[in-house]
Structure 1
Amino acid sequence: MNVLEENPYILQMDTASFQRISAYISKEYGIKLPESKKPMLQGRLNKKIRSLGMTSYKEFIDYIFSEEGRKRELYNVVDLITTNKTDFYRESAHFHFLTNEFLPRYQSKRGRSPLKIWSSACSTGEEPYTIIIEMEEYKKRHPEFSYNLLASDISIRALQAAYQGIYEQSKISSIPLDIRRTYFLQSKTDPHVFRIKPVYRKKIIYKRINLMEDSFGLLKADYDIIFCRNVLIYFNKLTQEEVIGKLCQHLRPGGLLFLGHSESILGMQLPLKQIKPTLFQKI
C-alpha cells in the first residue's frame, strides 16, 4: 500500500505543482528532482502547508512564489527540500588518509602555516565536527599544528543546527567513548542528548553558500582541503563539472578534494588527478 496515496490526511501533490517547484530548485540550486522524489517532497512539505492553514499544493506553490511568499517562506521551503542526512565519520577512510598520510607531508612542507579546510556542504554539522575532532587529535601529537575551518551549506536551517551542535545519542554512538567525553557535553535534562563543547564549536566559521552561484567566488582563501561529499549526486553532469571547476579555483595546487563514494569526475576536464577512490589532488 502506498501510504501517501491511501492516507486522506496527507495532501497530494499535483503534477503541475511538482513540476513548478522542481524546475525552480533545478534552476536556482542545480538539484535535480525526478518524479520519484515526489513522495519525499510531500513528506517534507505537508507539515509546512498545514501550518500555513492551506489546503492544496497549488495554493501553497502560488503563495511561495508570490512577492510576500518569496520574502517569508521560500527560503524555508528550500531548506526543507535540500537538507540531507549525514553522519559522523561518514566514509571514515577519508579521515584516516587525511590525518595519517596527508597531514605529516603537509607539515614537513608548510611548517607552521595553518591548514585551510572547507566543508562545502556541511549539512547539520556532522562532517565539520568530525574534521574538528581529527584535527584536534592530531594537534595533541603535534602542538605546533594549526588549522582554519569554513563550513558552508545552502540551507540556513542546516547551518543553524550545525552551529548549535546538538545531537541525539544515536547520532554519536559510533564515536569511541573517550572521544565523546573529550568533545561532547551530555545534557543535564536529557541523558540521550549531547552537545559539542563550546571551545570546539567556536573553531568553525559558518557561511551560507549556494554552490551554483558565482558569489562563492568572493571567498578570498585558497584551501588546502575541500570536502564536497554526496552533493554532486543531486546535479546533472554539466552542473557537476561547473561546480567542481569553481571549487578548484579555491583549491591550492597540491590540495585535496574529497567527494562522496558514489561520485565521479570521469570524463571531466578538470585540473585534478585521482590519488584514491573519491579523492583528488589539484595539479
Structure 2
Amino acid sequence: MNAPQSTLGQVAPTEAEFRAIAQLLSDTTGIVLAPGKTSMVQSRLAKRLRALGLATYKDYIALVSSEGGRDECRRMVSALTTNVTHFFRENHHFETLRQVVLPPLLEEARRGGRVRLWSAGSSNGQEAYSIAMTIAELAPDFATLNLRILATDIDPLMIEQGAKGSYPAAALEAVPEKLRKKYFRKEGENYQVVSNLRGLVQFRELNLHDRWPMRGKFDVIFCRNVVIYFAPAAQALLWERFEEQLTPGGYLFVGHSERVTDGKHSNLRTAGVTTYQLTNRTSRI
C-alpha cells in the first residue's frame, strides 16, 4: 500500500541516506555537501519524493543511481545546488573589465579578431548580462564584432531563465538607472533584457565536473562563488582546466572567498582582487 501523498518526504533522511546523497552529488558535480545539511536535503528533495510518489529516500537514491534515473539525477542536482546572484555582484571585477581588460580586446575585435568571454556557473544570467552591458557601454557597435559571451550553468531551470532574460524589478536594484533605461524594457510585472543585448549571450547547460565541449579558447572567464563548493582536489583540477581554456594574457575572475591554487606549473598570476591573468604563453588558438 502506497504512503499518503501528504506524508511523502516528511521524514528526514537517515545518516546513511544523507551520506549516499552527498556521495552522489560529489560524484556527479564535484560539489561537497557538508555534514549537518540533513534538514536542507529534506526540505529541497521532499517535493521530488512527492512528485514521484516515493515513500523513502532509499527508494529515491535507488532511482537516481539507476541508468533510467539520469533525468531525475539532474533534477536532484538542480534542487541541491545554490543559486545566489545579482547584477554587478563584486563590482570591482566589472571596473577591471571596463578599464583594463576590454579596451585591448575591443581593439582586437575591430581589427577582425575573435573575442570570447565565459560566465561559468552563470545561474540565471545576471552575471552574463552585467558583462554584456559593460561591453555595450564601451562598444555600441558590439553587434558588428566577432564577440560573444557563453553563459553556462548546471541547472537547466537557471539556463532557461537566463535565455529569457526576464527579471523582477527587485533584481534590477543594483543596475544603475542609466543602464536600466537603456537595456531593459518593462513587460508585465517583469523587465526584459533588450533583444540585441540578449543576442550577445549564448546560454548552455554544462556540468563543470564533466567534459567541456568548447573547442575555442576564452579571453575572459568569470567563475565566481562556484568552486568554493567543490572538494579541494576538484578545485585544483578546475583551476588547471580554466588555465588551459584561456588565451595567452587572458583573465580569470573568481569569487571573493576563492583563491587559485599556486601550482608549480601554473602560469596564472595575480592581476587584482580575486583576478588572475595567464602569462608566459606564446601561442593563441
Bin the TM-score by the shorter chain: 0.7 to 0.9
Q: Deviation of residue 209 (structure 1)?
A: 2.0
Determine helix, strand or coil for the equivalent of 2:80.
Answer: helix
Distance verdict in 2 for CA 1:180–1:146, change over 3 Å: farther
Q: Deviation of residue 107 (structure 1)?
A: 4.3
| 1:187 aligned onto 2:187 | yes
Distance verdict in 2 for CA 1:99–1:146, change over 3 Å: farther
Match of 2:246 among 246, 251, 268: 251
Distance verdict in 2 for CA 1:71–1:257, change over 3 Å: closer
Q: Deviations over 1:206-245 (max 9, x none)?
A: 22222222x21x4121111011111110112221111111
Distance verdict in 2 for CA 1:66–1:144, change over 3 Å: closer
Aligned to 1:3: none
Partners of 1:81 and 1:125 lie apart in 2 by: 19
Partners of 2:274 and 2:267 lie apart in 1 by: 15
Amino acid corresponding to residue 260 of structure 1 in structure 2? G
Partners of 1:146 and 1:29 lie apart in 2 by: 32
Say if 1:83 and 1:155, in contact at 8 Å, map to a contact too: no
Q: Deviations over 1:173-205 (max 9, x none)?
A: 1212221122112123x2xx2221222222212
Partners of 2:40 and 2:26 lie apart in 1 by: 16
Distance verdict in 2 for CA 1:147–1:109, change over 3 Å: closer
Say if 2:9 and 2:50, in contact at 8 Å, map to a contact too: no
- Report % sequence identity: 30
| 1:207 aligned onto 2:204 | yes
| 1:223 aligned onto 2:222 | no
Amino acid corresponding to residue 154 of structure 2 in structure 1? I
Distance verdict in 2 for CA 1:14–1:110, change over 3 Å: same
- Segments of 5+ residues of structure 1 without an aligned counterpart are 1-7
Q: Given the two structures, how large is their TM-score scaled by the length of structure 1?
A: 0.87
Q: Deviation of residue 144 (structure 1)?
A: 7.5
Determine helix, strand or coil for the equivalent of 2:262.
Answer: coil
Distance verdict in 2 for CA 1:72–1:102, change over 3 Å: closer
Aligned to 1:99: 98
Distance verdict in 2 for CA 1:66–1:239, change over 3 Å: closer
Deviates more, 1:123-132 or 1:37-46: 37-46
Match of 2:234 among 222, 239, 246: 239
Q: Deviation of residue 146 (structure 1)?
A: 5.3
Determine helix, strand or coil for the equivalent of 1:255.
Answer: strand
Q: Given the two structures, how large is their TM-score scaled by the length of structure 2?
A: 0.87
Q: Deviation of residue 91 (structure 1)?
A: 0.5
Say if 1:11 and 1:55, in contact at 8 Å, map to a contact too: no
Distance verdict in 2 for CA 1:66–1:105, change over 3 Å: closer
Distance verdict in 2 for CA 1:71–1:265, change over 3 Å: closer
Q: Deviations over 1:61-112 (max 9, x none)?
A: 22322343x1441211111112421111111100111111222243456653
Alignment of 1:1-283 (within 5 A): 10-68=10-68, 70-107=69-106, 111-112=110-111, 113-140=113-140, 147-188=147-188, 190=189, 193-213=190-210, 215-216=211-212, 218-269=213-264, 270-283=266-279
- Segments of 5+ residues of structure 2 without an aligned counterpart are 1-7, 280-285
Distance verdict in 2 for CA 1:140–1:200, change over 3 Å: closer
Deviates more, 1:32-41 or 1:95-104: 32-41
Determine helix, strand or coil for the equivalent of 1:124.
Answer: coil
Say if 2:159 and 2:203, in contact at 8 Å, map to a contact too: yes
Partners of 2:34 and 2:142 lie apart in 1 by: 48
Q: Deviation of residue 134 (structure 1)?
A: 0.8
Q: Deviation of residue 140 (structure 1)?
A: 2.9
Partners of 2:61 and 2:19 lie apart in 1 by: 11
